[in-house]
Structures are given as structure tokens and as C-alpha cells.
Structure 1
């Protein structure tokens, strides 16, 4: 049996994404069927479950981490609001004050709020795209340079994790927008200029082959949990449990490169709906199939599976 898997943008809980997809598609989608760039952060819960960590990004990054099991997590908005003058431009950002005041997820919901002035941040997580680059770069640099206590002496850098490293992506604007990878470059460039040691970080997300292997592992778990019988083709030579897994993406250097690196059983389909708009299959990261739209990709998959 062949499978498709939905890897979508981040910043929101898998449970919320599942609800949105269920309403949109008219079928029941469970949170376990939704895999986002920051989903691998779940694997770090045992390490940081009770430690103070800061979550950066659009949407509800701290709520995402809290749902994963992190019990002492603050969003960058919440954390920065605890320090007077940490953002020298805050007075010009009335929208920041309103956002913090109107946040639906309160400190009470994430457990007792400890004093951030005496408790070191043990790790910083870039969950989704930064909304305020100037403040976030400033505050994250403060955290990393001081060993987790902004405003204090220089200390050992806490771990830094990025959900993905996409340099650009296609939104509604005609040309591509700068993504988390661009934010990482900016943060790294600045940090390396003001600190004696180079920035250390771990980046998850495509094209890292780990993402594809992780998706395959999750799909195996889903397949084994189905109530009805699922025919799974086993390939003893390579350990794969699937005949085909389809990657549909619009970014050759991220989606297609990742699927190619992951190898069998991944089949890459490149669409002209985003970053890629060319006529020919790109020579640097050629896909197994190039189509105009996602609908064409799905039609191809259905026809192929119905005749196989």
C-alpha cells in the first residue's frame, strides 16, 4: 500500500491543524496524522520537560510546546515582557503590548510562573517564523550570550533549535518571502560578530532526511493502529514497510532534495504552485514528476494506485 502524508506549516498545535483539516476536507483527521516542522521537538521533552525554555515564532509557539509536554515554556512575547527595556524599540511597537495582553494562553495554563530573572533558560526553540526580527534577534542573543540569564555575565550558550531552515517560501505576494532559514542566517551573523564563540544550533525540517524517516516511522505506527486490515509491502533488503510514499512540494532545494536524499520508498512530485515556476524539471534537484498543481499530483497518485 502507498501512503501520502501531510507536512504543513507550523506555529499551531497539531490538534488545531487536525481540526482545521477535518472541517476543510470533510473527513476526520487526527492530530497523529499531522506532521509539522516542529513536530520532532516532541523527542526533546524528556530532556527539557521541567526546564525553562523559550519558544519563538508566529501563532502560538508556547502552546505548541506545552501540548508536546514541555511544562515550563514561555513564548518570546511573554519572556521579553518580563524584562524592562530589553527591547529598546518596544515603545514604537504598540501592537506588541496589545498582543501580549490579549494572548489566549495564559501563564496559569502553563503552570506556576517562576522568576525569569533568576532561572536560566535551558534552551531556545524557533518553532515558527519570527514576527519581530529586531526584538527576537536581540532577546535570543541576550539569552544565548549570557548562558540563559539576559543582562548577566557572559555564559555558556544554551542549546538552540530550529524547526526548519527554509530560506524562502511562496506566499500571496508575487515574489518569494524570507523564511526561517533567513532568520537563522541573520541571527547567526549577528551572534558571531558579538560573541567569541560561533553560534551552535540544531536545525530540523526538510531537506533533512531525518524528517522523512520520522514521517515514515509515524506512518508505520498509524498503519498498525488501524482497525481494518492494511496491506503493507515489506522490502527486506532496505527495511521499508511501504511500496511508495509521496512527497508533493513546490521547493526543489527543500522538498525534492529531501525526498531524493531519503531514497526509497519516497516518490517526489514537484508542483508549479510556489517557489518553483519553471517549465523544465530542475537539473540540480530533479523530481520524479513535475505538474502544475497539487490537484494534478493527487490525480496522478490516485490513477497510479488504482491501476497498480
Structure 2
């Protein structure tokens, strides 16, 4: 009988959400001018909503500018809530600012792997592996993980672990610079004898074949490739999108597709089913955390609100989730419940004429500009 994978989704309904961006209050107050407190907030997906590849779409620059005052001060608290990633939030904020023509704070960027910060206390000083496009090890290092290696670097310490590496016509950044790496950057721990205590899929992997092989080695051996079978180390995925909208006209396979491939192989060669924890939208934790960040952004500009003793009341009448993927953005907002209101655009994964059948949004629009126009008219904030 074939084993089935077990997925544990982190729940936080019975506890206060973790504020992943503690600096948000101070930075936001520096930009905020005096104005009437906003009763709503907005969370924008990125790929397929405001950008396609690196090109703004759907009138996104114009739409975002309407959320700022003439002086450049932010009028409406908003964040980017994306399952994408691979680079630190600070660098993503700079990139978004350049592409969209508005100033974006790092605290306004919540990526799929941002939730990995919640695991720092558990793995801060443990050997961990991070894989995905971009710089997954840098992302984890900036979160505070002290013994994290990219899968690229980790695999380079095991001779012949990737049996087809000689046929690959590309080299990784680590491989091309490994020989000139300063001695003080060489890990102070023994990579070939220490067990990996956790593996993180930070963003979409680049070399699926190599990553599946090495992850199977790590996960089936108790954290040490080549060793006897052992208890599987924890495996964490930043998100589980099967598809997403990139620069190519049709959808591209995402992290969820890689998870399915890894699961299928692992379950065929190992007696126990793959066990993993999945973060990212539509996980309820993500929306609870987004709400907390938006609340912090909003309350920072109103001292009376902070000190009036009414912090138990909900500060927002409505929180808008604008996304292009019904199975991720809309499903997540609907599961989160009040005060979330879901808006589905037709510029990304969803292209339907009518609403999505399984996860219908509260509103379907053609573009993000149309979504923002609807919100501002509804909230009388034009």
C-alpha cells in the first residue's frame, strides 16, 4: 500500500499573531502626515496583480500612487502579501519601489518565507539547509539562522552526490566562487559529519533533479547523506502554489509542483510518507499576521488610538486582499473571515469571464487599478 504524505499546517487562531516586522511602527510614522485614521487596509499580491515578471501591469503604478498624499506620505496602510521570494524583504522593497515608482518600506513586504522567522528559536544554532532561486541562505541568515547553508553549497561537500552534474552546462554562484572563498568564510562545523536538523524550501528550486536527489538523501537518512535510514528531519515549504503567473503568457509551475514531485519520489523509495509543514497563502497564519502588520502601520500614526485603552476593538472595518489566484489569494481571504474582503483580478492565473466556481471572490475585476478605484470609492477616500 502506497504511503501518503502528511501535511501539518501551522495554526495560530488561538494565539496572538507574531509581528514579523517590529520596525514597521517607527518607519511608517516617519512617512505619515496628519490625516484622518483609515478604517481599511489593503494587501496586494505581486505576480499577476501588480507585476508580470518585472513589468508593471493593470495600471498598478497609478493605482498605488492614489494611496499616497501629495507630499508622498502614505494615506492608506497597505502591504504586499506574496508567496514569492528568494531575496530579503529589504531588497524586494527596493526592487518594488524602482519598478512601481512609489516608496515601499521593507515592513510592507511579506513574502512566503517571512514566516520562517517564527522558527528561529528552534533552529538558530542548528545545521539547516535552504534551497530555491535567488539567495535562500542569505534570506535565512538575515532572519538570524547561524548555521544555514544553501543546498548548492551543501551538495558541493559530497562527492558524486549529483551523478549527472558533469552534464550540466551551468554553474551556481557558489560553485563558481568556491575556490576563491576566504578562509574565514569556511563553515566552522563539520558538514560531512553533522546531521541536518531541518530543510527549508525558501523559493522555487532551480535544479529540480539535483534538489530532489539531495533532499531525499537528507530526509531519508536522518539528516546525513549516505548514512543508514533515520528519522526524517523537518521539512518546511515557504508556499505551495501549483502555478503562478510570470512573464511567460501561460502559468508557470510553482513550489507546489516541486513539492508534488519530491513527495512522489520520496514515497516510492522510503517506507514512511513525506512529512512537511507548509506556510504561505492560503495558510490562516499568513492572514492573521498580515492583519497584525497592517494594524501596526495604521495605529502608529494616531497616538490617541494607541493610548485610548480600546486596543481590544478591531481597528479595521475592512481588509482587502487583491489577488489573481483563487486557490491561494481568494481561498486564504475567505478562510480568514472578517474583516477580509477578497478581490480577484483577471491579469494573472485567473482569466475567467465569471467568478471562480470553487472559491468565488467577493468581487471580480479586470485590473488592480479597477480594484483600487472600487475600494477608494466604497470607502469614500478618493
Global fold match (TM > 0.5):
yes
**1:260–1:266 CA contact under 8 A, matched in 2:** yes
- Deviations along 1:247-276, one digit per CA (max 9) or x if unpaired, are 111111111011001011111110001111
Q: What residue in structure 2 maps to residue 118 of structure 1?
A: 193
Q: Which of 325, 349, 366 lines up with 1:292 in the alignment? A: 366
Higher RCO, 1 vs 2 (CA within 8 Å, ≥6 residues apart): 2
Closer/same/farther in 2, CA of residues 277 and 46 from structure 1, 3 Å limit: same
The CA distance in 1 between the partners of 2:175 and 2:319, in whole Å, is 41
SS in 2 for 1:94: coil
SS in 1 for 2:361: coil
1:159 correspondence with 2:234: yes
**2:323–2:329 CA contact under 8 A, matched in 1:** yes
The CA distance in 2 between the partners of 1:285 and 1:297, in whole Å, is 18
Unaligned runs of 5+ in 2: 1-38, 43-78
- Deviations along 1:89-134, one digit per CA (max 9) or x if unpaired, are 100113135653248xx78797844221011100000000010100
Shift in Å, 1:2: 0.7
Closer/same/farther in 2, CA of residues 117 and 231 from structure 1, 3 Å limit: same
Q: What residue in structure 1 maps to residue 13 of structure 2?
A: none
Q: What residue in structure 1 maps to residue 93 of structure 2?
A: 18
Q: What residue in structure 1 maps to residue 343 of structure 2?
A: 269
Shift in Å, 1:241: 2.9
**1:251–1:275 CA contact under 8 A, matched in 2:** yes
- Structure 1 window deviating more from structure 2 (212-221 vs 256-265): it is 212-221
1:38 correspondence with 2:90: no
RMSD between superposed Cα atoms in Å: 2.4
**1:72–1:110 CA contact under 8 A, matched in 2:** no
Unaligned runs of 5+ in 1: none
**2:236–2:277 CA contact under 8 A, matched in 1:** yes
Q: What residue in structure 1 maps to residue 290 of structure 2?
A: 215
Shift in Å, 1:196: 1.0
Aligned residues: 302
Query: Which aligned segments of 4 or more residues in structure 1 are displaced greater than 6 angstroms?
Result: 106-111
Shift in Å, 1:166: 0.6
Closer/same/farther in 2, CA of residues 97 and 249 from structure 1, 3 Å limit: closer
- Structure 1 window deviating more from structure 2 (125-134 vs 6-15): it is 6-15
**1:242–1:265 CA contact under 8 A, matched in 2:** yes
1:54 correspondence with 2:129: yes
Shift in Å, 1:283: 2.1
The CA distance in 1 between the partners of 2:316 and 2:183, in whole Å, is 44
**1:223–1:230 CA contact under 8 A, matched in 2:** no
SS in 2 for 1:95: coil
Q: What residue in structure 2 maps to residue 141 of structure 1?
A: 216
The CA distance in 2 between the partners of 1:7 and 1:273, in whole Å, is 17
**2:153–2:174 CA contact under 8 A, matched in 1:** no
The CA distance in 2 between the partners of 1:290 and 1:102, in whole Å, is 48
Q: Which of 20, 24, 40 lines up with 1:2 in the alignment? A: 40
**1:66–1:110 CA contact under 8 A, matched in 2:** no
